[in-house]
Amino acid sequence: MYPAIFLDRDGVLIENRSDYVRGWSQVKIIPEAIRALSLEPIKKYKVVIVTNQSAIGRGLILLKTAQEINQQLINLIRDHGGQIDGVYMCPHQPEDGCSCRKPLPGLLLQAAKDLSLDLQRSWMIGDAWSDVQAGEAAGMRGTILLKTGRGSEQLLQHRLEMVTGNLVFDNLPLAFEAIFSIDNNTVIRSRS
């Protein structure tokens, strides 16, 4: 079984849009995030994108279009020497009550089953408390909230009682540095 790093898409790899990303032309890449995926230590992990895309359930975008956006993002990451081992997407609206929409851990559990992942040695990185909750619910080694995307705004909100512990970093490269340090049993300083 493999350790993994799970990444939310919007707010971690690409910029969030309040009106949803509906086509590739609306994608704005977070450059340091793409570069971070090509770091040498990342090769010790499976890298999996887990993303809620309620615009599909709301009828604002077709499932096929969302899949095409994800594939173009994967291609871009790979063209820059980065690695993505899987993408798992929830197309449902919050009120649909599915088990795959974060903060529930359905996407993470499915990826673990499909890719033979050891969740107790894995990490979840996102820009929202729902990402952190999903990682905790899946029993991950650690969770990280990034200040990119909605992260800074989330930190201003009352911390959810269900969130018991997580690290906070300004961006994905710093989060990766922390993961690599922790997993190699070295001491790090908080960089939030």
Catalytic site residues? 8, 10
Are 124 and 138 in contact by the 8 Å Cβ rule? The answer is yes
d(CA 120, CA 117): 9
Radius of gyration (C-alpha) of the chain in whole angstroms: 15
Residues in the chain: 192
130 residue type, one letter: S
CA gap 102, 80 in Å, rounded:
28
Give residue for tokens 């408390």: 129
Sign of the CA dihedral with 23 first, then 25, 30, and 36 last: positive
Cβ contact 22:61 at 8 Å: yes
